[in-house]
Amino acid sequence: MRIVLGVGGGIAAYKVASLLRLFTEAGHSVTVIPTEASRQFVGTATWEALSGNPISNSVFDAVDQVRHVRLGQEADLVVIAPATADLLARAASGMANDLLTGTLLVSRAPVLFAPAMHTEMWLHPATQANVALLRERGAVVLEPAVGRLTGADSGPGRLPEPEEIFAAALRAAEPSTTFPAHGSLSGRTITITAGGTREPLDPVRFLGNRSSGKQGVALAEAALSAGASVRFIAAHLEVPPPAGVDLTVVETALELREATLQQARDCDVLIMAAAVADFRAQSVSDTKVKKRDDGENPVIVLERNPDILAEAVEQRRNLGGPAVIVGFAAETGDDEGTPLAHGERKLKRKGCDLLVLNRVGRSLVFGQDTTEVTILDAGGAEPETAAGSKSEVAKVVLARIAASLGASN
């Protein structure tokens, strides 16, 4: 395995020399990238001698080899130890101001952070939020060990033992059956729509919905991690769009339709995670609608928006298109059937290949971080249920898509 070992600027850096030995003795090829600050603790010569590879943390060394891109692309695993509060913050915010953070942005390999810092820094809400964000994106962040720290104080913040980091790193690199294997979607192009459309009524008002776009963003991140190229068509989002995608921003259902039908022509997968307004105003006022003195209330006449998902299926029938088309649906049970029965009918009606059925009712899915879905397959495979964070659910959906793509080859 090709491992990038990033070393942060903390006193625990000296323990990482043992970790490096464990990797090399197990036959792995390791490139060490020490941060500038870490060289205050362990010098370059130690890393070069132990890894047998040259060391740099400058994006300007060996520019002809485009090292800041190549190292990340070629890595099978990235391990950061000690992960300092500063390094976690830079990784969480997507900074790329040195070779290590640049490599983290480029890499789609599994990433493991082994934090080490003072207890106060570890427990600070900023650090905890950064750790939560990194985990949400799929990185493994180990809990620091509890014990004596550099000074006289003790508490959580010690670097876990090299043997523990070694074992956790190998586990993180193992392909999992429920998650799409790293690289299992490389060479594939996936178009994802996300967020809620907004249908204007006048220059300041619109009809909208509560979709946050979180599930679509999680799907894009899972697809990128599995090596896909992602075209992301974003209606209104309450979260930032994912980094590393080809982004198209739209507002209305008709704009979303145009972008989707165009981009669906030459991609491998279309995922319709957007909440598309079923209706738009028949006429949109050019000027702000005013309150009237005679007490008369304005009437909004609505008309149907096209069903983009059904149209994408139709377009594929006529012109070709994605091998896998995925729809989303939120269903509640009623007199006419269970949520599953409604979902199965919708899958047939829309003609897509997979339908991700959100169960709504007990707690609303919109805006929440966790969800529970059942994936229905038009090919007749058994429905599969997944629950957890939107990013965990996204991985299960992507694994199912990867399996469908494999079957359609």
3 touches 79 (CB < 8 A): yes
In the complex with ligand C5P, the residue whose CB is nearer, 189 or 305, is 305
In the chain, the N- to C-terminal Cα span, in Å, equals: 28
Residue 209 known to be catalytic: yes
Is residue 42 a contact residue for ligand C5P (CB under 6 A)?
no
**The one catalytic residue among 57, 209, 297, 409:** 209
In the complex with ligand C5P, the residue whose CB is nearer, 81 or 264, is 264
**Residues pairing with 29 in the sheet:** 2
Q: What share of the chain is helix, strand, coil (3-state, %, to 5)?
A: 35, 25, 40
Binding residue for ligand C5P, selected from 169, 220, 308, 365, defined by CB under 6 A: 308
How many Å apart are CA 351 and CA 348, to the nearest integer? 5
In the complex, minimum distance from the CB of residue 261 to ligand C5P, in angstroms, rounded to a whole number: 10
How many Å apart are CA 339 and CA 207, to the nearest integer? 27
In the complex, minimum distance from the CB of residue 377 to ligand C5P, in angstroms, rounded to a whole number: 15
In the complex with ligand C5P, the residue whose CB is nearer, 305 or 374, is 305
Is residue 328 a contact residue for ligand C5P (CB under 6 A)?
yes
**Residues pairing with 232 in the sheet:** 192, 247
Give the tokens for residue 210: 């509560």
Is residue 264 a contact residue for ligand C5P (CB under 6 A)?
no
How many Å apart are CA 400 and CA 62, to the nearest integer? 41
Instruction: Using the rule CB under 6 A, give the single segment among 23-31, 137-145, 307-315, 396-404 that binds ligand C5P.
Output: 307-315
356 touches 397 (CB < 8 A): yes
Is residue 276 a contact residue for ligand C5P (CB under 6 A)?
yes
Give the tokens for residue 251: 């507002």
Cα-flanking dihedrals φ and ψ of residue 204, to 5°? Answer: -115, -15
Is residue 274 a contact residue for ligand C5P (CB under 6 A)?
yes
Is residue 375 a contact residue for ligand C5P (CB under 6 A)?
no
Closest CA to 138 of 177, 185, 182, 188: 182
In the complex, minimum distance from the CB of residue 330 to ligand C5P, in angstroms, rounded to a whole number: 7
261 touches 311 (CB < 8 A): yes
In the complex with ligand C5P, the residue whose CB is nearer, 83 or 375, is 375
In the complex, minimum distance from the CB of residue 311 to ligand C5P, in angstroms, rounded to a whole number: 8
Count of residues near ligand C5P by CB under 6 A: 12
How many Å apart are CA 16 and CA 284, to the nearest integer? 63
In the complex, minimum distance from the CB of residue 308 to ligand C5P, in angstroms, rounded to a whole number: 3
In the complex with ligand C5P, the residue whose CB is nearer, 184 or 215, is 215
Residues that bind ligand C5P (CB under 6 A): 253, 272, 274, 276, 278, 305, 307-309, 327-329
Return the active site residues.
209
